[in-house]
Chains A and B, each alone.
Chain A
Amino acid sequence: MRRFTFHIFLFLLPVLGLLMIIPISKRQHFISMKDDCFNHGIWLHDRIFENPLPIDIAFIGSSHTINAINELQLDSLLNKQQVHSANLGYCRLGRNMDYAILKELLKNKKPKVVVMEVRETESRYSHPAFPYIASQKDVILPALLFNRDIAKDAFTTFAYKTELIQDHFFSSQPAPPIDLNPSGYVTHLDTAKKELLQEFLLKRGQPEKKASGPEHDFYNAYPKNYLDKIVSVCEENKIQLMFLYLPGYGTTKTYAVPEEAVYYQEHGKLLIPPAAILQTTSNWFDENHLNKVGSEKLCIWLGEELKGL
């Protein structure tokens, strides 16, 4: 049995080795994610690597961040400080994705402040897009075993790499032009129906059975590990870390502050938007995302919070 395993490993070694070393440009990784998150990946890449505009304040998070942070508005509010902010949000949750984006960011930019989106609770799962952009090392050798998606992530990385290699050899499509749009903010003008928000207010206002003690620690071991990594990367690079609470509509009754508020406060400043913004129905596009009015109000408040940095 040992001989068999060893021989199979030897047989596969050159193939795996080749797969690892065939160079694929980082941009290609983001280009091929075109069907995901409204093709936001390529903008994210170009803002970090192609756009010469510096990034002083980076906002990292999910679609909540994409719809909430208008960099242009914020920059004009902070114009005395001559800062450039960037909304580097990417749809869906997964702390490992935040870590991967932060690492990419630091390869080409020197932010002074990183604002991490936080939700009511930490998501304990891997971000679905993480294996597409993270380095092979980060995917294959995650620090903890509490990631139930580890095998899926490793396979996706492998499959995606082969797909990229196939594209590299066979695709005749030219690469899209460099996107120099300074803003990653996506806005919605519509307002959510009151009845819908009311429904969510009732649903989300119900007391939840929360995990506690060892069960809670077990659930959070995976995201906490990535949060620890984010904290240490920020410390190493002398970046001020902040946490911005962006919950869904109607959850502030149950979670006035995020569940992990103590942890966030230990490692940075926790920014909690005023209830007037989060609880006003006309500020929401749907039950999860702020609309243009909501994001304007949020940015005004945020501008005040970030003044004097």
Chain B
Amino acid sequence: MVFNSITFFIFFILFFFLYWIISKKATVKITNLFILLSSYLFYGWWDWRFLGLLLFSSSVDYIVARYIEKTDEQRKRKLILCISIFSNIGLLAFFKYFNFFVDSFVTLLHLFSIPVNTTTLSIVLPVGISFYTFQALSYTIDVYRKNLRASHDPIAFLAFVSFFPQLVAGPIERAKELLPQFYNKKQFSYPLCISGLRLMLWGFFQKIVIADNLALLVEKVYSAPQQYSGLSVLFASCCFAFQIYCDFAGYSNIAIGTAKMLGFQLSMNFKTPYFSTSFTEFWRRWHISLSTWFRDYVYIPLGGNKGSNVKTNLNLLLTFVLSGLWHGAAFTFILWGTLHGLLLIANKKIRIKLPSFISTFFVFVIVALLWIPFRAKGMEHLFQLSNRICCSLNSGDTPGMALLSVFSMLKWKIFLLVFIGFILIERKMQLIDFDQKAQQLQRPVRMSLYYILLFSILLLGNFNVKPYFIYFQF
């Protein structure tokens, strides 16, 4: 089920009313059981066969954490933790990376003229596997580190791992923050539900109006870069920067809003990252739940910034390479991660004081350029795109022609106005979310804003596309 689909719309309305009725009349356990079953229905709607995987992963982590807590002996605790790490990473490795590693190995052997005949398996990537395995993994590691007590309530734990608002694309929640919320009885709260709806409205606006419309242009240029000038490819890459942001931040806002309507507080995943003045700041504001996950469970255990400069830089680079690999089993993602890692290292070394708007612009341009390998379908496609930018900057169709090939002039003019409005709102939001910002506005302004967003969705929304979010593939 995808948030911007009719199926989810019906599912959520039914779930919402039933949830609050059950929550009022029944115990927390029964409410959690209802959440669990509904979340499994939500996930199984995509492919029920992978429900077993979700159940297996969560069960292993639940049992492992209980055993870790029971044991005082450090060596034994470490050994038990390894079961969780191997099972989670093993699942991820098999479903996400098996073909990639086999293919890469074969290519390597071919380079040395060693012929190998192999057939890779046709493995379907279960939606959200990267997200829920990381969430479950952080729980066992926290229990191991004694930062968290193991859950004694299997229903609450399974509901925590499979909680449908954030199951398939995050935010990757820490058990310390989210799990205790499953132990408390929820009371229906009017302001909280309105807050949730506000975030959902903003999320849908980001996704349906901004991301889906930009996607048309990006797809057009990226699918046939040879027909467009390098300038158009650059322009499409800038559009992709906003597309991926609005797609993912939109998803996160809908997820956080949905959870809020059910009385759950999820963590903020984006803090207007394109207004960052440095790369370090960008990573503090972009996909925060993943960045902090890598910081706490990869970078710091590797030694963090405790060792020499070289060691710190290596740790940083490795963390970003792994982060790139987390996004997908392809060299383009590894390249993307590596380049970001190198930028962060450079950012630490080179400190030039620039006016904030210049540094913001600079950071945005570089980040947008780095989205090119991320968006490219493979290394060959990446070379094609780079070739257009470097060698044919002015030959081929111009950005204007690319724009007009997907929409009429009038639609683009209105879209541009809405887009400027969107940037201004984001500028005002800075480190707070849309809900908090809207609450600061006076009622008439706030209500007008809601209607503007709603009418923008209706008038500019692209309803003719298959419901899809970019981060589902990860």
What residues of chain A have their CB less than 8 Å away from a CB belonging to chain B? 1, 3-4, 8, 11, 14-15, 19, 151-152, 155, 159, 162-163, 165-166, 169-172
Q: How far is the CA of A180 from the CA of B420 in the complex (A)?
A: 47
Q: Which residues of A contact B9 (CB under 8 A)?
A: 155
- The answer to whether A170 and B197 touch across the interface, beta carbons within 8 angstroms, is no
Task: Report which of B20, B407, B460, B463 forms a contact with A1, defined as CB distance below 8 A.
Answer: B20
- The answer to whether A4 and B193 touch across the interface, beta carbons within 8 angstroms, is yes
- A165-B410 contact, Cβ under 8 Å, with A4-B193, A151-B6: no
Of B288-296, B389-397, B450-458, the stretch lying at the interface with chain A is B450-458
- A163-B188 contact, Cβ under 8 Å, with A15-B458, A170-B407: no
- The answer to whether A172 and B6 touch across the interface, beta carbons within 8 angstroms, is no
Q: How far is the CB of A34 from chain B (nearest CB, A)?
A: 13
- The answer to whether A169 and B459 touch across the interface, beta carbons within 8 angstroms, is yes
- The answer to whether A15 and B193 touch across the interface, beta carbons within 8 angstroms, is no
- The answer to whether B458 and A162 touch across the interface, beta carbons within 8 angstroms, is yes
Residue in A closest to B447 when the chains form the complex, CB atoms: A11
Q: Interface digits, B381-415 against A, CB 8 Å rule (1 contact, 0 not)? A: 00000000000000000000000000111110010
- The answer to whether B464 and A163 touch across the interface, beta carbons within 8 angstroms, is yes
Please count how many residues in chain B sit with their CB below 8 Å of the partner chain's CB atoms. Answer: 26
Q: How far is the CB of A213 from chain B (nearest CB, A)?
A: 31
B112 in the interface (beta carbon within 8 A): no
Q: How far is the CA of A1 from the CA of B23 in the complex (A)?
A: 13
- The answer to whether A152 and B6 touch across the interface, beta carbons within 8 angstroms, is yes
- The answer to whether A155 and B6 touch across the interface, beta carbons within 8 angstroms, is yes
Q: How far is the CB of A128 from chain B (nearest CB, A)?
A: 14
Q: How far is the CA of A11 from the CA of B450 in the complex (A)?
A: 9
Q: List 7 A-B contacts (CB under 8 A).
A: A1-B20, A8-B197, A151-B6, A162-B458, A166-B459, A169-B410, A171-B408
Q: Which residues of A contact B190 (CB under 8 A)?
A: 3-4
Q: Which residues of A contact B20 (CB under 8 A)?
A: 1
Residue in A closest to B20 when the chains form the complex, CB atoms: A1
B461 in the interface (beta carbon within 8 A): yes
Q: How far is the CA of A155 from the CA of B197 in the complex (A)?
A: 20
Q: Interface digits, B178-195 against A, CB 8 Å rule (1 contact, 0 not)? A: 000000000010100110
Task: Report which of A15, A155, A170 forms a contact with B408, defined as CB distance below 8 A.
Answer: A170
Interface of B is mostly: helix
Q: How far is the CA of A169 from the CA of B456 in the complex (A)?
A: 13
Q: Interface digits, B431-470 against A, CB 8 Å rule (1 contact, 0 not)? A: 0000000000000000000110011001111011000000
Q: How far is the CA of A172 from the CA of B407 in the complex (A)?
A: 10
- The answer to whether B407 and A15 touch across the interface, beta carbons within 8 angstroms, is no
B124 in the interface (beta carbon within 8 A): no
- The answer to whether B463 and A159 touch across the interface, beta carbons within 8 angstroms, is yes
- The answer to whether A165 and B408 touch across the interface, beta carbons within 8 angstroms, is no
- The answer to whether B458 and A165 touch across the interface, beta carbons within 8 angstroms, is yes
Q: How far is the CA of A194 from the CA of B194 in the complex (A)?
A: 64
- The answer to whether B458 and A19 touch across the interface, beta carbons within 8 angstroms, is yes
B121 in the interface (beta carbon within 8 A): no
Q: How far is the CA of A213 from the CA of B396 in the complex (A)?
A: 68
B10 in the interface (beta carbon within 8 A): yes
Residue in A closest to B189 when the chains form the complex, CB atoms: A4
- The answer to whether A165 and B459 touch across the interface, beta carbons within 8 angstroms, is yes
Task: Report which of B450, B454, B463 forms a contact with A163, defined as CB distance below 8 A.
Answer: B463
Q: Which residues of A contact B454 (CB under 8 A)?
A: 15
Q: Which 8 A-B pairs have the closest CB atoms?
A: A170-B411, A155-B6, A159-B463, A172-B408, A170-B408, A162-B458, A151-B10, A170-B410
Apart from A4-B193, A163-B464, what are 4 other A-B pairs with CB-CB below 8 Å?
A1-B20, A4-B190, A15-B458, A170-B407
Q: Which residues of B contact A163 (CB under 8 A)?
A: 463-464
Q: How far is the CA of A162 from the CA of B459 in the complex (A)?
A: 7
Q: Which residues of B contact A170 (CB under 8 A)?
A: 407-408, 410-411, 414
Q: How far is the CA of A14 from the CA of B455 in the complex (A)?
A: 11
- The answer to whether B463 and A162 touch across the interface, beta carbons within 8 angstroms, is yes
Q: Which residues of B contact A8 (CB under 8 A)?
A: 197
Residue in A closest to B464 when the chains form the complex, CB atoms: A163
Q: How far is the CA of A19 from the CA of B20 in the complex (A)?
A: 31
Q: Which residues of A contact B10 (CB under 8 A)?
A: 151
- A166-B6 contact, Cβ under 8 Å, with A15-B454, A171-B408, A172-B408: no
Q: Which residues of B contact A159 (CB under 8 A)?
A: 463
Residue in B closest to A152 when the chains form the complex, CB atoms: B6
Q: How far is the CA of A1 from the CA of B17 in the complex (A)?
A: 9
Q: Which residues of B contact A165 (CB under 8 A)?
A: 458-459
Q: How far is the CB of A252 from chain B (nearest CB, A)?
A: 39
- The answer to whether B455 and A166 touch across the interface, beta carbons within 8 angstroms, is no
Q: Which residues of A contact B463 (CB under 8 A)?
A: 159, 162-163
Within 8 A of A (CB), among B184-230: 188, 190, 193-194, 197
Q: How far is the CA of A152 from the CA of B8 in the complex (A)?
A: 11
Residue in B closest to A161 when the chains form the complex, CB atoms: B458
Q: How far is the CA of A81 from the CA of B451 in the complex (A)?
A: 60
Q: Which residues of B contact A151 (CB under 8 A)?
A: 6, 10
Residue in B closest to A156 when the chains form the complex, CB atoms: B6
Q: Which residues of A contact B410 (CB under 8 A)?
A: 169-170, 172
Q: How far is the CA of A12 from the CA of B161 in the complex (A)?
A: 34
Q: Which residues of A contact B197 (CB under 8 A)?
A: 8
Q: How far is the CA of A11 from the CA of B9 in the complex (A)?
A: 17
Q: Which residues of A contact B460 (CB under 8 A)?
A: 166
Q: How far is the CA of A300 from the CA of B272 in the complex (A)?
A: 72
Q: Which residues of B contact A19 (CB under 8 A)?
A: 458
Q: How far is the CA of A249 from the CA of B451 in the complex (A)?
A: 55
Residue in A closest to B24 when the chains form the complex, CB atoms: A1
- The answer to whether B458 and A172 touch across the interface, beta carbons within 8 angstroms, is no
Q: How far is the CB of A107 from chain B (nearest CB, A)?
A: 28
Q: How far is the CB of B7 from chain A (nearest CB, A)?
A: 9
Task: Report which of B408, B414, B461 forms a contact with A162, defined as CB distance below 8 A.
Answer: B461
Q: How far is the CA of A9 from the CA of B171 in the complex (A)?
A: 30
Residue in B closest to A172 when the chains form the complex, CB atoms: B408
Residue in B closest to A171 when the chains form the complex, CB atoms: B408
Q: Which residues of B contact A15 (CB under 8 A)?
A: 451, 454-455, 458
Q: How far is the CA of A178 from the CA of B410 in the complex (A)?
A: 26
Q: Which residues of A contact B17 (CB under 8 A)?
A: 1
Q: How far is the CA of A166 from the CA of B460 in the complex (A)?
A: 7
Q: Which residues of A contact B461 (CB under 8 A)?
A: 162
Q: How far is the CA of A151 from the CA of B193 in the complex (A)?
A: 24
Residue in B closest to A15 when the chains form the complex, CB atoms: B454
Residue in B closest to A173 when the chains form the complex, CB atoms: B408
Q: Which residues of B contact A3 (CB under 8 A)?
A: 190
Within 8 A of A (CB), among B410-425: 410-411, 414
Q: How far is the CB of A234 from chain B (nearest CB, A)?
A: 34
Q: How far is the CB of B216 from chain A (nearest CB, A)?
A: 13
Within 8 A of A (CB), among B247-302: none
Q: How far is the CB of B20 from chain A (nearest CB, A)?
A: 6
Q: Which residues of A contact B409 (CB under 8 A)?
A: 172
Q: How far is the CB of B201 from chain A (nearest CB, A)?
A: 10
Q: Interface digits, B13-57 against A, CB 8 Å rule (1 contact, 0 not)? A: 000010010000000000000000000000000000000000000
